[in-house]
Amino acid sequence: MATGKLNVYLVRHGKTMFNTSRRVQGWSDTPLTNEGMEVAEFLGRGLREVPFDAVYTSDRGRTIETAGIVLRESKQAHLEISELSDFREFGFGKFEGEYEDIMFGKVIEHLGFQSVEEAFEKFGYDGYQIISETVEKIDETGMSEKWDSMVTRLKNALETITKENQSENANVLVVSHGMAINTIISFFDITQINPELANASVTRLAFENGEWTIEAVNDLSYIEAGKLVLA
Q: Could you tell me the end-to-end alpha-carbon distance of the chain, in angstroms, rounded to an integer?
A: 38
CB 212, CB 8: distance < 8 Å = no
Using the predicted structure, report yes or no on whether residue 28 has a pLDDT greater than 80. yes
Share of the chain above pLDDT 70, in %: 99
Cβ neighbourhood burial of 114 (10 Å; 0-12, 13-18, 19+):
exposed
pTM score, whole prediction: 0.95
The count of other CB atoms within 10 Å of the CB of residue 105 is 13
CA-CA distances (angstroms) from residue 50 to 7, 157, 222?
10, 22, 10
User: Is there a contact between 200 and 177 (Cβ–Cβ < 8 Å)?
Assistant: no
Q: How confident is the model at residue 118 (pLDDT cuts 50, 70, 90)?
A: confident
pLDDT at position 125, please? 77
CA-based torsion, 144, 23, 97, 19: positive or negative: negative
- Per-residue pLDDT averaged across 166-182, rounded? 94
